[in-house]
Amino acid sequence: MPPSDGAPSIDVEARSFSYVAGAVGQPLVRAVAVEAAIEIVIGGSPFAVMMATPRDLEDFAVGFLSSEGVTERLADIRGIEIAEVDEGWRIGVALAGERLQAHLARNRAFGGRTGCGLCGVEDFSQMPAPRLLLPPGPPIAPAAIGAALAELEERQPLNALTRAVHGAAWCDREGRIVLVREDVGRHNALDKAIGALRRASVSADDGFFVITSRCSFEMVVKAAIFGAGTLVSLSAPTSLALSRARDFGVAVIAVARADQALSFEGGEGDRLRGGLAA
């Protein structure tokens, strides 16, 4: 049976570089994150080519198709086959009959860079969005966010090795990290986390996301489509991200540090009072 995942990093030779003398010193070995072309094929027809780290590819397929509106539930996917090919990796997806017909009618195909957010969208009507506004829920306690941030770095082994990948963590309401997925693309990391959660039948009411990248609008959309009411970002949000968050009912906590963050709930942007210390 062929492997369903590839190596997330490779070792390459490098040298220290001096701005005065150039490359100097003895060669050293440095781990580099793997970036590969991942082709997603649905019903035998190409759908997307994304640049991603070839790890947790089944999670990626499930989360990506959910975020793109191709599927609405795990049962929409009848099977996934993953194979390494000369150009990279191919993920073959078999959809249930009605879902496949709906996908063929939609007839969308696109190619994506590592940072792609709307590749292939032809007009505004095709922009992904959740079907319904998320209902108000109990807010995540500041102490829970602080606890998740304190644990996050040690839960990112690939980034510790390469310093070149993004992470997306799902945390329970007490701030305990349930799972983390890593990838060279911020969207891919979140899609992988969403896919893992869907495959494990985890309820969106049970926690919140923490992402290590900037909080751009498509990250908010992905969280909303999954049903997560809170998205925490280590970096800053964009204007469209905050607009979408208000539209969809997602609370955005951004510029998150060990002791404090900014709360953008309702677009107010008030600093969390009392910080995030437990």
Assess if residue 134 is contained within a domain.
no
Structure tokens at 81: 């086959």
Q: Is residue 17 part of a domain?
A: no
Dist. CA 59–CA 76, nearest whole Å = 15
Q: CATH number of the domain that 234 lies in?
A: 3.40.140.10
pLDDT digits (tens, 9 = 90+) for 229-242: 999 999 999 999 99
- Match 């975020």 to its residue by tokens: 67
Rounded Cα distance between 136 and 198, Å, is: 22
Percent of the chain at pLDDT above 70?
86
Whether 229 maps to a domain, the answer reads yes
Residue 29 domain flag: no
Residue 172 lies in a domain: yes
Residue 171 annotated in active site:
no
One-letter amino acid at 260 equals Q
With respect to residue 217, please indicate whether it lies within any of the assigned structural domains.
yes
CA distance 135 to 154: 33
User: What is residue 133's predicted lDDT score, i.e. its pLDDT?
Assistant: 76
Residues of the domain holding 199 = 142-267
Position 164 in a domain: yes
Number of domains comprising the chain: 1
pLDDT tens over the chain, length 278 residues? 567 899 999 999 999 998 999 988 889 999 999 999 999 999 999 999 999 999 999 999 999 999 999 999 999 999 999 999 999 999 999 999 899 999 988 765 555 555 555 555 444 455 667 777 788 888 999 999 999 999 999 999 999 999 999 999 999 999 999 999 999 999 999 999 999 999 999 999 999 999 999 999 999 999 999 999 999 999 999 999 999 999 999 999 999 999 999 998 544 333 343 345 33
Which two three-digit tokens encode residue 169? 């963590």
Phi, psi of 10 (to 5 degrees): -130, 155
Distance between CA atoms of residues 34 and 55, nearest Å: 9
**Domain membership flag for residue 171:** yes
Q: Can you name the residues that pair with 208 across neighbouring β-strands?
A: 171
Tokens for 131? 């079907």
Choice among 116, 119, 171, 215 that is catalytic: 116
User: Whole-angstrom Cα distance, residue 158 to residue 164?
Assistant: 8
